[in-house]
Amino acid sequence: MNMKKTSILLVSVILAASSAFAWSKKSENTGNLGRMYMSIAGGVQMNKATMSSGVIPPAGAKSDPTSTPTGADASFVINAPIFKPGVNAFKNIKWAGVDGQVFFDYNYSGEYKANYVSGVSTTTELSNTSYSVGAALIPYLNFDIDLPFLQAVKPFGMGFVAFEWSDTNATSTLPYLDGLSDSYSAFKYGVGAGVEFVILDELSFTPYWKWVCSTHDSAPCVQHVGAELAYWFTDQFCVSVFWNHSFGGVSTSDFDGDYYSLDMKHGDIIGAKFKIGFMR
């Protein structure tokens, strides 16, 4: 409980600091970086993984351990410019800026299934639900191009920390494995990089790469690549579509000594974001 309160307090302090330093006269139609907004995102998650266990399959069993479940992913983000090119405490700096973010993420994996036949048919399913709250810093460069179909190029880096709550549940035709769960909480951290191409004043395209890791032993470090296409209809309203691809890793769950291992081959999230911008 103390860790949870500490995490919430830390995020609140960072958000307040980001808002205080986001000193800009107005929101400019130059993509997403350097703009104050809040974002709500939702998407469909499609994974492919192979499940194995310490108790099944029995010797000589025929097995079908690979599954492709469909899950869900959602997030809420508040983005605030801490330093903004040409409109901040260092007005002579027009080519660089820093954004700060606080975020809340939700993820549901869907049901991973493994079927085994050894005299009788055995089916086991695993599902994972996770929540995380955290904060990120995004420093970036700002290059004005001012061509008809390319207004600016903004290469950026990012770093974040978060606190995650994760719960894995098992259902099985084996009675002693049915209804069990494995829960943990841990810190997550990661780094990333990308480039925002401001195609028009209102339209931007952003490819990116991220590396995400956890302090919990059973959670793997995972690499992601993705892209977002965003269109700001006005300074106050934006709709974007995004795609995120993860390269997978091996995670384990321990149910009272009976372990399950998920070898994640890959995962994809396709979704949309709705952003509300704020004039300052």
The CA distance from 242 to 228, in Å, is: 4
Per-residue model confidence (pLDDT) at position 29? 42
Among 110, 36, 50, CA closest to 80: 36
Per-residue model confidence (pLDDT) at position 227? 98
19, 66 in Cβ contact below 8 A? no
What is the mean predicted confidence (pLDDT) over 232-238?
92
Q: Report domain extents, the chain.
A: 2-277
Give the confidence band of 24 by pLDDT, cuts at 50, 70, 90. very low
Span 151-167, pLDDT tens digits? 899 999 999 999 999 98
End-to-end CA distance of the chain: 36
Query: Between these two residues, 85 and 101, which has the higher pLDDT value?
Result: 101
Per-residue model confidence (pLDDT) at position 27? 39
Task: Flag whether pLDDT at 36 surpasses 50.
Answer: yes
Place of tokens 């991220």: 210
The CA distance from 204 to 178, in Å, is: 48
Percent of the chain with pLDDT over 70: 74
CATH classification (class only), 2-277:
mainly beta
Span 115-124, pLDDT tens digits? 665 555 567 7
262, 125 in Cβ contact below 8 A? no
Which range of 47-61, 175-189, 209-223 scores highest in mean pLDDT? It is 209-223
Per-residue model confidence (pLDDT) at position 20? 45
Span 168-196, pLDDT tens digits? 887 777 665 666 777 889 999 999 999 99
The reported pTM is 0.80
